[in-house]
Amino acid sequence: MTLENKLKEFFSFSSFRLGQKETISSILNGNHTLSMLPTGTGKSLCFQFPGLFLDGAVIIISPLLSLMQDQVEQMKMNGEKRVVALNSFLSKKERDYFFTHIKKYKFIYISPEMISSSYVLNLLKTIKIVLFVVDEAHCISQWGYDFRPEYKNLGKVRKELKSPLTLALTATATSEIREDIKKSLFLEEVTEIIYPVNRPNIAFSVEKFSATAEKLERLYTLVEQLQGPGIIYFSSKKIAEQTASYIRSKSNKKISGYHGGMTQEDRILIQQQFLHGHLEVICATSAFGMGVNKENIRYVIHYHMPTQMESFLQEIGRAGRDGSDSISILLYANGDEALASQLIEMELASDMQIDQLLASLSSYSSYQEWKEKEKEWRQFAFSETQWRVLEAYFSSEIADMPSLIKKLHFFKQHRLKRVEIKRQKIAALLTWINQQECRRTFIANYFDEKKPESMERCCDRCGLDLSFYHYKRTLIEKSHNEDDWKEILAKILLESDS
């Protein structure tokens, strides 16, 4: 029986999408695999399919609770009952049941924080793990666009679990970041399945403005004109909410804001409303996206420029997953890059913050005493993200005060290097915004890929009719008076008689 026959039998699909068959074949042949497949090509099938035919459990490391929950619910609806997401959504009773009956489960979704706990790790050692999956693997690399400190420990976790067959999945990673992924996971012999980041059905357009007020008015016009559903990305939680409120006050469109500062319940509610068509437009920060398995998103607008090309492509890749024509529009006002620069500066603790931390250490007699009281003061000095990155940098290698002080001084140099690379990423995206040549070709060059073939709807630099993506009103929707209705009715009756 061919893989296609099994695909039809178990998943009701008639054919594989880009890169799926190659990835699945590699895993079934026992090869550690790193697959870079375009956003929206169904990366979850790459581990769900082989998992059915391999003897043992599949562990899937996933960065977001909503992403886990969505995939678990989909698998259950498709008849797979041996699946669980080990996260905070589980009640104590459900968690205790899982711990007691862990050998019953075939697919175990788990967060990097949870799998790093000694209790869970020891529990996983009692079962046969046939496949270790790292989803959104670019989160491992400290040079990647979405570095998660909790991912840094996965190489050690993998070794603790006796280095099982491993699949690393991502949608956007340069060759340097792919090397970092392999190094971090202690993978030596790896089959790499790399597909271009190009999504031919998504056209690119950039619009420039001299003032923010002009940009806001243009955004409202686009929301009114464009065929939805759509996502609008912002770099500020406050502006995302304010803009959603502004457009809602002027439009009949069903629109909502979304950001990481909302409660978990509100985020889940908004996401589900959008998935099921009860909301047409989401004004969101980058917190919205992963796990949003909605195929018919027709446009993605960036109100603020992202901090780098990788995150930009990840976010626009949420459009057009059904293969239909979609549009990416970036709205740029003079000076927008200053906000992007501010974001990368705030991501890591500054030299001043590190110096304040170093000065405070003299108040403690030992490293252990400082560790016991760190929560009392760190909340006033560091943001949650700053502390998570800083702690991931030194926590596992520190045992006394002198080694902590030494590490903190090293961190200053690490920060300089990381910020400089991030600035180069902003500069590259700004070059893309301002350039006069084909935008798609620039992206291909950025990822060291060959030039894509020319296409009818490529980008604004190649000539793009934006009205193609406007809301397509039906004949009836365009008509408002009685004479129009009579004309339509006469036409319908005439056609029915002929």
Q: How confident is the model at residue 271 (pLDDT cuts 50, 70, 90)?
A: confident
| pTM attached to this predicted model | 0.79
Q: 394-434 pLDDT, tens per residue?
A: 665 666 778 788 888 888 888 888 888 888 989 999 999 99
Average pLDDT over residues 202-223: 93
Q: How many CB atoms lie within 10 A of CB 44?
A: 19
The contacts found for 50-53 with CB under 8 angstroms, 24 or more apart, are: 50/24, 50/131, 51/106, 51/107, 51/130, 51/131, 52/10, 52/106, 53/6, 53/28
Residue 28: predicted pLDDT: 93
Three-class secondary structure of residue 250 per DSSP: helix
- In this structure, of 250-259, 420-429, 487-496, the range with the lowest mean pLDDT score is 487-496
Per-residue pLDDT, averaged over 298-320, amounts to 90
Cα→Cα distances 134→111, 347, 375, Å: 10, 24, 31
Task: Give the per-residue pLDDT at 497.
Answer: 47
Q: How confident is the model at residue 37 (pLDDT cuts 50, 70, 90)?
A: confident
What pLDDT sits at residue 482?
43
Percent of the chain with pLDDT over 90: 27
* Most confident by average pLDDT, 84-88, 130-134, 147-151, 317-321: 130-134
Contact 205, 464 (CB under 8 A): yes
Q: How confident is the model at residue 460 (pLDDT cuts 50, 70, 90)?
A: very high
> Where does the pLDDT of residue 151 fall: very low under 50, low under 70, confident under 90, or very high at 90 and above?
confident
158: closest CA among 126, 119, 178, 131?
A: 131
Per-residue pLDDT at 30: 93
Gap between the Cα atoms of 151 and 447, Å rounded: 23
Q: How far is CA 14 from CA 6, 25, 37, 468, in A?
A: 10, 17, 19, 31
Provide the pLDDT confidence category of residue 143 given band limits of 50, 70 and 90: low
Residue 376 has what pLDDT? 63
Is pLDDT of 218 > 50?
A: yes
All domains of the chain, ordered by start, with CATH? 3-194 (3.40.50.300), 197-473 (3.40.50.300)
Rounded distance between C-alpha atoms, residue 450 and residue 498, angstroms: 54
Peptide bond connecting 229 to the previous residue in cis, omega within 30 degrees of 0:
yes
